[in-house]
Amino acid sequence: MSVWNYVVTAHKPTNVTHSCVGNFTGTQELNLIIAKCTPKPMLDVPIYGRIATLELFRPHGEAQDFLFIATERYKFCVLQWDAENSERAMGDVSDRIGRPTDNGQIGIIDPDCRLIGLHLYDGLFKVIPFDNKGQLKEAFNIRLEELQVLDIKFLYGCSKPTIVVLYQDNKDARHVKTYEVALKDKDFVEGPWTQNNLDNGADLLIPVPPPLCGVLIIGEETIVYCSASAFKAIPIRPSITKAYGRVDADGSRYLLGDHAGLLHLLVITHEKEKVTGLKIELLGETSIASTISYLDNAFVYIGSSYGDSQLIKIHLQPDVKGSYVEVLERYVNLGPIVDFCVVDLERQGQGQVVTCSGAYKDGSLRIVRNGIGINEQASVELQGIKGMWSLRSSTDDPHDTFLVVSFISETRILAMNLEDELEETEIEGFCSQVQTLFCHDAVYDQLVQVTSSSVRLVSSTSRELRNEWKAPSGFSVNVATANATQVLLATGGGHLVYLEIGDGTLTEVKHAQLEYDISCLDINPIGENPNYSQLAAVGMWTDISVRIFSLPELNLITKEHLGGEIIPRSVLLCSFEGIPYLLCALGDGHLLNFLLNMSTGELTDRKKVSLGTQPITLRTFSSKNTTHVFAASDRPTVIYSSNKKLLYSNVNLKEVSHMCPFNSAAFPDSLAIAKEGDLTIGTIDDIQKLHIRSIPLGEHARRICHQEQSRTFAICSLKYNQSSTDEFETHFIRLLDDQTFEFISTYPLDTFEYGCSILSCSFSDDSNVYYCVGTAYVLPEENEPTKGRILVFIVEDGKLQLIAEKETKGAVYSLNAFNGKLLAAINQKIQLYKWMLRDDGTRELQSESGHHGHILALYVQTRGDFIVVGDLMKSISLLIYKHEEGAIEERARDYNANWMSAVEILDDDIYLGAENNFNLFTVRKNSEGATDEERGRLEVVGEYHLGEFVNRFRHGSLVMRLPDSDVGQIPTVIFGTVNGVIGVIASLPHDQYVFLEKLQANLRKIIKGVGGLSHEQWRSFNNEKKTVDAKNFLDGDLIETFLDLNRTRMDDISKAMGVSVEELCKRVEELTRLH
């Protein structure tokens, strides 16, 4: 890999942090607006920043709401919807000095739209006033005495803007205070009331709108309603409220979501405007909510950071389980991705990412693969299918009625009955005691069936035989094809026969004798006339060629030798995006495609790809009004075209022998698929996207590892048990089958023992493969674990057997296989263990050598004798293992103070790191340095602000690496983040990098960020110490938006680059094949 890297998102952020409801796009439309930590679905706009505040408000005299957004880098903007979604105001609210608040930024808007308040730094409250026309004026700061602020809100119904502050004093007691904001004096005035000594867990304020006014203070054990005139409290069962949503405009009912995913309804009881009490009722369980928006008519949106977001409906009556909540829709969220591994479960050279996603009870494994899913609608067991065709009951019927299934010595006909079930039926005119070679709908409400002895023409309405063409005696038909008006067939001895279909007539028009036998045929009409083809494609035995003949004359126009000794098994004339192609599939899983000139029959622009290893059969099908081609084989693939370029996407099915479209009334737009003894009818996913399968665990998986030999995954997980008195966690090592994902074995860890790292490896002089697990004893009284264990398991009969264990003096944060030994990172030390055979034949880990000098060695990667360590706060260091001395020494380090979150080795000299300010950087080993000091320094060569917290890098690819593509040779690393992003970092050749850097610079000028937030600033590396422009990293998401620009903008960029639009499209398109 290289210094020049291209960063692109394969799966966008799905972790929902903020949501709000209002009339944003129009006075009559109710919109739900959601923020997914970085770059909404009526409108999806990337915001160049991590969103800290998202609020709708409506200034005086306005008919619809405005949207206020503040980002974590202290930028803000106010957006107003018009068809071009323009911004009203924007600015920077950062201060030169100031300690950022521990509890996150707070952004609030006065209900009477007099000002916006921001709490960004301890001890300061920033005010942005509105003038009487609703425009923003100059901001100013007011000193706030309370340093430990937990929450701030504006109160309703106050003559002057009034805030209520929930804070903690230096004795850890919690209180509430109110202040009036005096805009003229730019200062606070003591407010109407205060309330001291609240519930120790109080951390959320809910201001109640008029007529009641006042505020709700939500604690862990009590809920309090407080105003100048009233104080009411109720006890609740201990819970931490994470999110709330107001139900009624008058604020008498609120939905509360807690840390266990329970949804409660809080009711303020009142007589006229006097509050008489509070009531709380459990409604049911949802995902753990980070935001709740009540939409309308009992529909509620639950946004989650720990599980899938949901659309729910609240019913008046409970269901059998006592729940009032019905989940209507789930919106997949992969976040937080704590760990993942890249595996090839189908052993097909296609990477899949298996993630540890979600948290607490919403924990799950997600299998993410690039490819197309088939959603099964119906299935029936049928062995030995040799071919399938769908037929209509009349020429103008929009739907298919019959499904003809051919076997070695019979043909069966299936049709949908009134109950929408497939059942057997008869077409009397068909010959059902023999194998069918081909079937098709024909003009004049007819059907055509070709068998080895004849061509039969049958009425589709009466189902009776109307005409028959019989093969000459001594000859049998080997291959055949047909369309609505033509039949082309081949008998043994290289005879090619062409027939035309009339109303009840079959006419033999032409016969040609070829020098070799014919292996496959096609006359799919792709010219002007949808029922008649002027060209025939013929694949040959012996000389391994494909030929184009003219119809009706059967004159040879083109002959193309395919080379090699594998015969063509299937040919297809087809048209993608108006461009005619000839596809030719060989018996070894290769596919050739040619551009076809319709008038001359000439074949050009030959390309070859490998789809599988078995013979391929090609069929066309339609999905969403576009024609695609299905290649059935041991690796079924859909071939489609995008921007006039053929793309291949694998289908998430094992071997498929035959496929035909079956668009029946009951199963519109479906496919019939024959595979391994089954006939399945299913619909197809959107063409080309990531396919995600969820395995809910009900517990939180934190580490995952795959073992090829035992076909298993092992995970370290923890379950949160809530007993009546206490909450406690139990930790496990669990073994899962890598096909079914069922738990097949469990090893419980000790009390307080956490699984920290897991690895599948083998040792020198031992042929077995083991799972090694590193643990830590996390004791409440210790700041840092002082003991842990390394456990070595073997999988026997699907069970985890403990073979050896080794106590350690700290947490085992990382484990690596290292030259047949085991390398562990234990607290601040790197330790190497060798695998020893004791006299009694048992095995043990023996300490060999180590290296001190880290603060906490959290992330370790190895390559050869080199060890790269990512430290808690001391960035990246490079160690080397010296075989002669058996010692580990430091070779070089990066002297910047980066708090690391992940590291990976790109190549011998370049190492990649991610740190906790959402940046990526690369460092280079300087082995050519002149002095020891230079050689001892890792030089920072690349810097980039990703805006995502990366938990793990892994080498690998999500896509099939097609050897003939330019991107097939580009090495990639995959990363997973807290927000559920799966991203790809690709190392580019220098010339390609330079070209794309120029393209990115031109795109920046043309594509402006929403709210005036700058792309360049957003991507600049930024931490507490410094902000520097991104270097040696490109933003692939920005570059790939080139393909979505309109033609005039593309032309502008093409002029600036001095490269044609076609060439730009082609080059950017290739990059999209990386993910």
pLDDT tens digits along 58-83: 777 677 777 777 777 667 677 776 65
Cα separation, 715 vs 358, whole angstroms:
14
Supply the pLDDT for residue 26.
66
Residue 673, beta-bridge partner list? 659, 680
Question: How many residues in the chain?
Answer: 1075
Query: What's the pLDDT score for residue 874?
Result: 92
DSSP reduced 3-state for 1010: helix
**Is 216 in contact with 206 (CB distance < 8 Å)?**
yes
Per-residue model confidence as pLDDT tens digits over 1000-1023:
999 998 877 766 678 888 888 888
pTM for the full predicted model: 0.77
- Closest C-alpha among 139, 159, 130 to residue 66: 130
What's the distance, Cα to Cα, between the start and end of the chain in Å? 17
Find the mean pLDDT for residues 373-387: 87
Q: What mean pLDDT is predicted for residues 52-56?
A: 74
Contact 45, 36 (CB under 8 A): no
Which of these, 868, 754, 871, lies nearest to 818 by C-alpha position?
868
Q: 585, 594 in Cβ contact below 8 A? A: no
pLDDT at 998 over 90: yes
Work out the mean pLDDT of the chain and round it to a whole number: 88
Cα–Cα dist 540/468, whole Å: 27
SS3 annotation, 125-188: EEEEEECCCCCECCCEEEECCCCEEEEEEECCCCCCCEEEEEEECCCCCEEEEEEEEECCCCEE
pLDDT tens sequence across 37-51 = 543 333 455 666 677
Percent of the chain scoring above 90 in pLDDT: 58
Average pLDDT over residues 352-380: 88
Count Cβ atoms within 10 A of the Cβ of residue 184 and give its class: 0-12 exposed, 13-18 middle, 19 or more buried: exposed
Residue 238 banded pLDDT, cuts 50, 70, 90? confident
Average of pLDDT values for 562-591? 92
Query: CA-CA distance, 350 to 959, in Å (whole number)?
Result: 6
Rounded CA-CA distance 181/114 in Å is: 10
pLDDT at site 934: 87
Q: 655: closest CA among 609, 711, 592, 612?
A: 612
- pLDDT above 80: residue 442: yes
Instruction: Indicate whether 1066 pLDDT > 80.
Output: no
The tokens of 1017 are what? 């600033």
Q: State the helix-helix crossing angle for 990-1006 and 1047-1057, rounded to 10 degrees.
A: 130
CB of 653 closer than 8 Å to CB of 667: no
pLDDT band at 422 (very low <50, low <70, confident <90, very high): confident
What is the CB-side half-sphere exposure of residue 39 using CA atoms within 13 A?
A: 17
User: pLDDT grade, residue 379 (50/70/90)?
Assistant: confident
Largest CA distance in the chain: 109
Tokens 């862990």 belong to which residue?
220
Q: Read off φ and ψ for residue 992, nearest 5 degrees.
A: -65, -40
pLDDT band at residue 132, thresholds of 50, 70 and 90?
confident
Q: Where are the beta strands (DSSP E) in 843-949?
A: 843-851, 857-863, 866-871, 876-882, 887-893, 900-905, 910-915, 919-924, 939-945
d(CA 885, CA 867): 16
What would the pLDDT profile of 187-213 be if each residue is shown by its tens digit?
999 988 888 888 888 889 999 998 888
Q: Helix count (H) and strand count (E) of the chain?
A: 6, 85
Residue written as token pair 């080794």: 806
Helix H or strand E segment including 1001: helix 990-1006
Q: Average pLDDT of 312-323? A: 93
Contacts of 650 (CB under 8 A, 6+ apart): 348, 350, 370, 371, 372, 635, 636, 637, 638, 960
- If you average pLDDT over residues 272-293, what whole number do you get? 92
pLDDT digits (tens, 9 = 90+) for 778-789: 998 888 899 999
Nearest to 822 by CA among 759, 902, 748, 872: 759
Match 């790292």 to its residue by tokens.
Answer: 757
Are 392 and 401 contacting, i.e. CB atoms less than 8 angstroms apart? yes
Please report which confidence band the pLDDT of residue 809 belongs to, taking 50, 70 and 90 as the band edges: very high
pLDDT recorded at residue 688: 57
The residue type found at 139 is A
* Residue that the structure tokens 């004795």 belong to: 171
Closest CA to 427 of 439, 418, 409: 439
| Bridge partners, 497 (sequence order) | 489, 511
